[in-house]
Structure 1
């Protein structure tokens, strides 16, 4: 048995996680700070980066589907 065959077989047993394009906020300090936050998990209308304190800009990212009941 090839070494890679054992590793590959473990991937087939995992359930597929649905993904969708999700609105996010991305830190404006591109190349310096890589923080992003899902839009529906923020408290402010226009959030500030929790790591570096810079403004955040709106964007889209393909992410696993999550439900935020709040």
Structure 2
């Protein structure tokens, strides 16, 4: 019988991902752009304006968005 061990998995590669970052200095809110619902969202934590940003993250695909061709 074999057992599954998470520690034997290779770490997922990280890449620069476009994000929305909260502008409020003491707020840690952010969101991946491909998961945000609107063009210029407000912070889900404090309601402040969000600006463009980039983070080094594991890339995730948002399958709920419809592809426009």
Q: Shorter-normalised TM-score: what interval?
A: 0.7 to 0.9
Specify the alignment match of 2:41 in structure 1: 47
Count of residue pairs the alignment pairs up: 59
Instruction: Give 4+ residue runs of structure 1 displaced > 6 Å after superposition.
Output: none
1:1-70 aligned within 5 A? 11=7, 13-30=8-25, 32-69=26-63, 70=65
The gaps in structure 1 that reach 5 residues or longer are 1-9
- TM, length-normalised to structure 1: 0.76
Higher fraction of helix:
1
- Higher-Rg member (1/2): 1
CA shift, 1:16, in A, is 2.0
Note the aligned Cα RMSD (angstroms). 1.4
